[in-house]
Structure formats: structure tokens, C-alpha cells
Structure 1
Amino acid sequence: MPAVIVRQRKPWRRKDGVYMYFEDNAGVIVNPKGEMKGSAITGPIGKECADLWPRIASAANAIV
């Protein structure tokens, strides 16, 4: 089953120069069509993930 990484501990630099990182690593399992296997996401997800995966963004409670 493929998965999408929604949070990572390792800092990365955004295009605006801000360094982002989260407290933990997290992923969402998706089917080949790109639909989530689960129904809810606990915790925030990155803006980059939300831009690429709108279905995941709609289930998240916060986008950072």
C-alpha cells in the first residue's frame, strides 16, 4: 500500500526561507486512486502536502 508523508522531524527549507519541522513523523495510507484508507488525520499537516493532496487536506484539522 502506498503512503503519503504528512509530517517529518527533519527540518526542510520552504521557498520563502522559513525552516519547518514537526515533533513527529506521520504518514497517511492511500489506495492506488489516491483516496485515504482511514477517515481522519490527527495533528497538523504541511502546506506542501495540502497543496499536492487536497483529499488529505480536507481531512486534516490544521494546515501549517
Structure 2
Amino acid sequence: MEKTLTINGAFAEWTVTVTVAPPEDPIDAPITDWPPAMDRVTRYFYDMVNYTESVRDAELARGDGR
């Protein structure tokens, strides 16, 4: 399974891809649905992009941006 998230930010297009593959020697049946815990990855990615873009915006406002 693979899930790709893309955010079109002000300073960049942000993309993260998460892939879930079964181990070489599976003990149990493979995962076929995204576990609810994967929602945290999505929230973290959005938070990280928002933070990074906010810092960049602040740097430009102060004249620190390059």
C-alpha cells in the first residue's frame, strides 16, 4: 500500500509518500487497510509544512530570507 500527500505551499510543493509493504517472512496476514494511527503521519506532515512555511514567511518579513 502507498499513500501520497501533497501540499501546495507558498514557497514549495511539499510531497510525502508512505509505503507499507509486508515483511519478507510474514507471520500474519498483510495489512490491507491503513491503520488509524497513520492519521498522525498526515497531521504531522501538515504541521511540519505549516511551521516551515511560517518560519520562511517570518524570515522574509524580517529581511533574513535569501
**TM-score after normalising by structure 2:** 0.30
Bigger CA radius of gyration: 2
**TM-score after normalising by structure 1:** 0.30
From the two aligned structures, give the one with the greater strand fraction: 1
From the two aligned structures, give the one with the greater helix fraction: 2
